[in-house]
Amino acid sequence: MNEQRKDVLGLLAEGKITAEEAERLITALERDQPPRPGARPKYLRVVMRFDEAEGESTRLNVRVPLQLLRAGVQLAALVPPVALNRANAELSKAGVPFDLTQLKPEHLEALVEHLDETIVELEQSDGHMRVYCE
């Protein structure tokens, strides 16, 4: 256990913060930690924002536990279709040959390996998108 996590748990034990505050702090610490070499990613992350012509925008910030996907939950059930279609197009452009709408548990490890050291990132004048594992 690292020192920062111990500090947060110490504050919780002393009653200086609530359990919810401790959980938020620990989650933030985990996000800020660089991945350890050899550590398996725990989440598939899709972050997107695109402005549409009609003044509307498509926004998405999904952090899906890979364990949930390994258990058979379809990613398409968790992410809006318009976001999946745009993400699929960008994954294809980046050479990651996966259709996220058809992602099955048996294909998940191959996707994780493709995204392990790769972050698919698109920056355009109308928005941005990132797909990665963390």
Find out whether 108 and 69 touch, Cβ atoms under 8 Å: yes
What is the C-alpha separation between 2 and 21, in angstroms, rounded? 18
What is the C-alpha separation between 87 and 48, in angstroms, rounded? 8
What is the C-alpha separation between 15 and 69, in angstroms, rounded? 36
* pLDDT tens sequence across 109-121: 777 776 665 566 7
Find out whether 104 and 81 touch, Cβ atoms under 8 Å: no
In the predicted model, what is the mean pLDDT of the chain?
Answer: 77
What is the C-alpha separation between 1 and 31, in angstroms, rounded? 15
Q: What does pTM read for this prediction?
A: 0.54
Mean local confidence (pLDDT), 50-77: 78
Q: What is the DSSP track for 62-121?
A: EEEEHHHHHTT--GGGTS-HHHHHHHHHHHHHTT----GGG--HHHHHHHHHHHHS--EE
Q: What is the DSSP track for 40-61?
A: PP-EEEEEEEEE-TTS-EEEEE
